A and B are shown apart, each in its own frame.
Chain A
């Protein structure tokens, strides 16, 4: 299994805090598939900078409120 990217995220937490927004709704809002949202939430995929900004904008927060760095 490949090493996970050293990036953490609060996508699931933010989604649930936004009226239990579904993964499909978030996927549609940022222009990716639901499987990609699942992969992001599981920490198996680091989204592009564009998608990262789109996610932050959907939740009305800053980029660093969604994504964090856990590496050295």
Chain B
């Protein structure tokens, strides 16, 4: 498994952990309120910070681990195959992201709740980002 493959796997898991944490808090707040909790800056910012911290730490730890292995000199290198995989994964992710935006927008036409639209768009982003990471891992293991 290459440095990037491990990094994307770790980041994909981090995205799912941070996303689950975010929605668990929204769920709890909504139960306490008796209706859907409105978004707040603190929770949204905390989600972004936790997400960036988890993915940053995973790449940092992997970089350190790799530096001690035989693959040391290759850590962080990005060659033609990495670029091809990145391009293919991001291109497919853009379709998932489009779907993750279309569905909440169409749904909004029926419920007209800005809060629900906000949370469902975050859901779409989480889904797209996790898909992007796991598509990288998948593409690293398939043939071209």
Show the binding face of A for B, using Cβ within 8 Å. Answer: 1-5, 24, 27-28, 31-36, 39, 43-48, 51
Number of residues of chain B lying within 8 A (CB) of chain A: 15
> CB distance A46 to B144 under 8 Å?
yes
Which residue of the partner chain B has the closest CB to A47? B80
Q: Which residues of B contact A32 (CB under 8 A)?
A: 79-81
With A3-B143, A27-B74, A47-B81 given, can you name 10 additional A-B contacts, CB distance below 8 Å? A2-B144, A5-B143, A31-B79, A33-B77, A33-B81, A35-B74, A35-B140, A36-B79, A39-B81, A47-B80
Q: Which residues of A contact B82 (CB under 8 A)?
A: 33, 36
Q: Which residues of B contact A51 (CB under 8 A)?
A: 80
Which residue of the partner chain B has the closest CB to A34? B74
Q: Which residues of B contact A31 (CB under 8 A)?
A: 79
How far is it, in angstroms, between the C-alpha of A4 and the C-alpha of B71 when the chains are bound? 26
Could you say which of B77, B79, B142 has the most chain A C-beta atoms within 10 Å of its C-beta?
A: B79
How far is it, in angstroms, between the C-alpha of A5 and the C-alpha of B2 when the chains are bound? 21
Q: Which residues of B contact A4 (CB under 8 A)?
A: 143
Q: Given the interface contacts A24-B73, A39-B81, does A33 sit within 8 Å of B2 by beta carbon?
A: yes
Q: Which residues of chain B in 103-144 are interfacial with respect to chain A, using CB atoms and an 8 Å cutoff?
A: 140, 142-144
